[in-house]
Amino acid sequence: MSELKRTPLYGFHKKHGARCVPFAGWEMPVQYSSILEEHRAVRETAGIFDVSHMGEVRVKGKDAIRFLDKLVPGDVSAMKEGQALYTCLCYENGGVVDDLIIYKLSEENFFICVNAGNKDKDFEWFKKHVTAFDCEVTNESDDYVQIAFQGPQTWMVLETLLPEDFSTFKRFTFLEREIDGVPIIISRTGYTGEDGCEIYCSSKAGESLASALFEAGKAHGVKLCGLGARDSLRLEAGYPLYGHEIDQNITPIQGGIGWIVKGTKAADFIGRGILEKQKREGVSQRVIYFILDDRRIAREGTPVLCEDKTVGKVVSGTLSSILNKAIGSALIDTTVAEMNQLYVNLRGKHITLQPKKPALHR
């Protein structure tokens, strides 16, 4: 096995008692106290996550908009400076290369955040397709620390560090600012279902920024959080994770994020034919979110049954500390997606799987 990578915040994590585990080739904190405590902190106060293992790609040049519009089903040409766009890279079959966020700094300068486990694959995908366009693609993943700061107290804490009124700061926009002389990008996006932001800064400044945020947040009940809580929070909110709700064989339409496919977009994009057909005609399988009336978790790969017939499989499962019940997502046959007779067999016991919209997990 290759040696695990460490983010610039590894020393900070060990100093604060994090338990680290392998994740996507990185040694990352899975928890500091307990996953349930950290999950609740984000819902009630705020939590700080190191997500510096994520990748960053820069696209610059005269054809930057045309190039990106070819690669994603979202409408890059409609973006304004200072906006962020959640979208996907797709294969010709509609399957997902990766989901990502595009930030527009100017007409010829875009900053893109991609998933940790996919960043090398994504960069190769960008390089493969850029040859027909007058722009350049640069992998800047080693240059940045990224900290997710999520929860109801986020902005109150940030306003103690920045002379800023965030009340007019809109979702999926970003600001370029400084904290203690350190240039940062603050993006009002998130992956927890709570209001909050991602903050980017140089790798060298990462530990001082993390320390400043944590010290300012202590009086407000802010906790350091690991990837365990990040996963339970995103699943409770109904946000997809690559390799689970979306992948090379599960399209955005099947994965429940069909809204990212813009049928009115003028530019052609990879996978357009199949994705528009799926939106128009429907799909044979789709992802649903569910609750179990039990604390036992239906893990990834668990068959979903209806009248003793397998109709799908669980793709994510965890425990919701808010509901004190197991929750999850499953890829199942569309014909049975709304039925109440769905169940899973856990250690010989049939447990009813109740399809629910993610908002009802709260």
Measured between alpha carbons, how far is 96 from 86 in angstroms, rounded to an integer? 13
317-330 mean pLDDT: 93
Domain residues for the domain of 22 are 10-51+143-236
| Interior angle at CA 324, CA 320 and CA 325, nearest 5 | 70
46-58 mean pLDDT: 98
Residue 278's Cβ-side half-sphere holds a number of Cα atoms within 13 Å equal to 25
Contacts of 147 (CB under 8 A, 6+ apart): 9, 48, 49, 50, 51, 52, 198, 199, 201, 206, 209, 210, 213
Which of 236, 258, 293 is the endpoint of a domain? 236
pLDDT band at 157 (very low <50, low <70, confident <90, very high): very high
148-153 mean pLDDT: 97
pLDDT band at 361 (very low <50, low <70, confident <90, very high): very low
Query: What is the chain's Cα-based Rg?
Result: 21
One domain for residues 39 and 157: yes
Report the pLDDT value the prediction gives residue 50, as an integer from 0 to 100: 98
Tell whether 108 is covered by a domain. Answer: no
Measured between alpha carbons, how far is 78 from 84 in angstroms, rounded to an integer? 11
Q: How far is CA 121 from the centre of its chain?
A: 17
Burial of 74 per CB tally in 10 Å (0-12, 13-18, 19+): buried
Contacts of 168 (CB under 8 A, 6+ apart): none
Beta 47-50 vs 144-150: how paired, if at all? antiparallel
Beta 47-50 vs 223-225: how paired, if at all? parallel
Report the pLDDT value the prediction gives residue 359, as an integer from 0 to 100: 61
One domain for residues 226 and 296: no
Which of 201, 221, 236 is the endpoint of a domain? 236
The residue to which tokens 């109440």 are assigned: 340
Measured between alpha carbons, how far is 289 from 330 in angstroms, rounded to an integer? 6
One domain for residues 186 and 304: no
159-183 mean pLDDT: 94
Q: How far is CA 200 from the centre of its chain?
A: 15
One domain for residues 179 and 311: no
Tell whether 71 is covered by a domain. Answer: no
57-79 mean pLDDT: 98
Work out how many domains the chain is built from and give that number: 2
Is the distance from CB of 41 to CB of 71 less than 8 angstroms?
no
| Interior angle at CA 275, CA 269 and CA 276, nearest 5 | 90
pLDDT in tens, 253-268: 999 999 999 989 999 9
Reply yes or no on whether the pLDDT at 338 is more than 80: no
Measured between alpha carbons, how far is 157 from 224 in angstroms, rounded to an integer? 14
Say which CATH number the domain at 320 has.
2.40.30.110
Which percentage of the chain shows pLDDT scores above 90? 93
pLDDT in tens, 266-307: 999 999 999 999 999 999 999 999 999 899 999 999 999 999
Which of 236, 256, 273 is the endpoint of a domain? 236
Which percentage of the chain shows pLDDT scores above 70? 98
One domain for residues 147 and 210: yes
164-169 mean pLDDT: 94
Reply yes or no on whether the pLDDT at 1 is more than 60: no
pLDDT in tens, 79-121: 999 999 999 999 999 999 999 999 999 999 999 999 999 999 9
pLDDT band at 360 (very low <50, low <70, confident <90, very high): very low
One domain for residues 232 and 309: no
One domain for residues 296 and 188: no
Say which CATH number the domain at 24 has.
3.30.1360.120
One domain for residues 296 and 156: no
Reply yes or no on whether the pLDDT at 321 is more than 80: yes
pLDDT in tens, 180-210: 889 999 999 999 999 999 999 999 999 999 9
